[in-house]
């Protein structure tokens, strides 16, 4: 009976691995935005190493984005200059707030981010929510631009495991940051619709250019912003994902605490 029990546990483990970790990597769905199928899934660091994965996108104009983030309490990141670099160093060392602290450059389409936003946590730029966005050539909902981005949580400052340079280290649960961002935007009433398409795919032990570990269910959240001038606060429309993806995400919701997620 003991041997039978071990085989049963092994069989269940193989089933779970195949059903929720291996096979989901082949599930790709782009029913709400088919053009995203050919979009890159990971950014690049300046040295060419893989950067943070893309896990968010917004549909709207630059003015729509700026307005929504201002309403959500997120600040545009300053460009990297000597002055802003000294200010963030002072904020980290002396534990001073720096709500507009610069973020490092990551590259997509051969260029650094077009927009970046952040929100201090704990009164210091050591910990912060932040997101970078790149404007794409895609359009949705008529002629409204699609912006893709990577949202991660900076959990502290240290040395890059790959280059030895001083850098922020991200928290591994990038899905939590993706969901936090969309929840903040939805709370402003300026997010008209939310749906998901396939991003980098299910990842248990991913690594970015700084060798920071991350894990994700692999979904990319797409938020459709309310156009400028629209009147009245509309309820958020959540567009459904295919059933296999919904089942996969339920499993990942169960797995995240075991991986160290929020």
Average pLDDT over residues 21-30: 68
Does residue 204 lie within any of the structural domains? yes
Q: Percentage of the chain with pLDDT > 70? A: 75
Helix segments in the chain, DSSP class H: 2-17, 62-72, 82-94, 174-187, 243-259
Does residue 28 lie within any of the structural domains? no
Does residue 10 lie within any of the structural domains? no
Name beta bridge partners: 213.
207
Report for 29-33, 140-144, 179-183: range of highest mean pLDDT: 179-183
Does residue 4 lie within any of the structural domains? no
Residues 6+ positions from 6 with CB-CB distance below 8 Å:
none
The 10s digit of each residue's pLDDT in 39-98 is 999 999 888 889 999 999 999 999 999 999 999 999 999 776 666 554 455 455 545 555
Does residue 8 lie within any of the structural domains? no
Q: Give the global pTM.
A: 0.83
Average pLDDT over residues 104-129: 87
Does residue 13 lie within any of the structural domains? no
51's tokens: 């950067």
pLDDT score for 75 = 93
71, 82, 173 from 230: Cα distances, Å: 15, 40, 35
The 10s digit of each residue's pLDDT in 184-202 is 999 999 999 999 999 999 8
The residue segments making up the domain with residue 192 are 33-259
pLDDT score for 34 = 92
What CA–CA distance (Å, rounded) separates 105 from 102?
Answer: 9
Helix (H) or strand (E) holding 211: none
Of 27 and 94, the structure prediction assigns the larger pLDDT to 27
- Number of folded domains in the chain? 1
pLDDT score for 78 = 75
Does residue 9 lie within any of the structural domains? no
What CA–CA distance (Å, rounded) separates 249 from 56?
Answer: 16
The DSSP-derived string for 33-78 is -GGGGGS--EEE-TTSSEEEEP-EEEES-HHHHHHHHHHHT-EEPP
pLDDT score for 20 = 58
What CA–CA distance (Å, rounded) separates 69 from 71?
Answer: 5
Does residue 97 lie within any of the structural domains? yes
């Amino acid at each position: 009976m003991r041997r039978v029990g071990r085989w049963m546990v092994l069989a269940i483990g193989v089933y779970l691995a195949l059903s929720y970790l291996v096979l989901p990597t082949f599930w790709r769905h782009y029913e709400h935005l088919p053009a995203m199928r050919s979009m890159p899934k990971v950014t690049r660091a300046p040295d060419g190493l893989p950067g943070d994965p893309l896990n968010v996108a917004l549909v709207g104009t630059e003015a729509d984005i700026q307005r929504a983030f201002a309403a959500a309490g997120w600040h545009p990141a300053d460009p990297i200059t000597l002055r802003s670099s000294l200010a963030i160093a002072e904020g980290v060392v002396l534990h001073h707030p720096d709500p507009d602290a610069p973020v490092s450059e990551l590259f997509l389409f051969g260029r650094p981010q077009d927009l970046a936003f952040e929100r201090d946590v704990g009164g210091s730029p050591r910990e912060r929510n932040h997101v970078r966005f790149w404007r794409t050539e895609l359009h949705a909902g008529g002629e409204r631009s699609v912006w893709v981005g990577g949202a991660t949580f900076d959990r502290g400052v240290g040395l890059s495991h790959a280059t030895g340079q001083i850098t922020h280290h991200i928290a591994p649960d990038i899905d939590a940051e993706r969901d936090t961002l969309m929840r903040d935007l939805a709370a402003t009433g300026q997010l008209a619709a939310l749906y998901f398409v396939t991003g980098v795919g299910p990842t248990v032990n991913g690594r970015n250019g700084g060798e920071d570990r991350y894990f994700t269910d692999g979904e990319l959240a797409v938020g459709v912003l309310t156009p400028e001038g629209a009147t009245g606060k509309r309820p958020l429309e959540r567009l459904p994902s295919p059933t296999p993806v919904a089942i996969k995400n339920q499993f990942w919701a169960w797995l995240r605490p075991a991986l160290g997620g929020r």
